[in-house]
């Protein structure tokens, strides 16, 4: 049987509350899959350019 301590229960409650607020916040909602994909693509491009520049 899995018993959570009061501290773990409070942590879970607060995390759940934060997630609920972030989902309804437009600034956090913009960080959707497409935005994250674009961000990662830019990071990969910068790393590739730096790697090519360093190898020259």
Q: Tens digit of pLDDT for each residue in 35-52? A: 778 888 999 999 999 999
> Is 28 in contact with 35 (CB distance < 8 Å)?
no
- Write down the pLDDT at residue 41: 94
* Domain limits, the chain: 6-55
* Residue 19 clears pLDDT 70, i.e. is over it: yes
Instruction: Find the range with the poorest average confidence among 2-6, 11-15, 42-46.
Output: 2-6
3-state secondary structure the chain: CCCCCHHHHHHHHHHHHHHHHHHHCHHHHCCCHHHHHHHHHHHHHHHHHHHHHHHC
| pTM score of the predicted model | 0.45
Give the pLDDT confidence score for residue 18 in this predicted structure: 82
Q: Is the pLDDT of residue 29 over 70?
A: no
């Amino acid at each position: 049987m899995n018993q959570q301590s009061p501290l773990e229960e409070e942590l879970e409650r607060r995390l759940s509350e934060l997630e609920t607020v972030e989902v309804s916040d437009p600034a956090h909602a913009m960080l959707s899959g497409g935005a994250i994909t674009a961000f990662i693509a830019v990071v990969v491009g910068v790393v590739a350019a730096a790697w090519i520049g360093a190898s020259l």
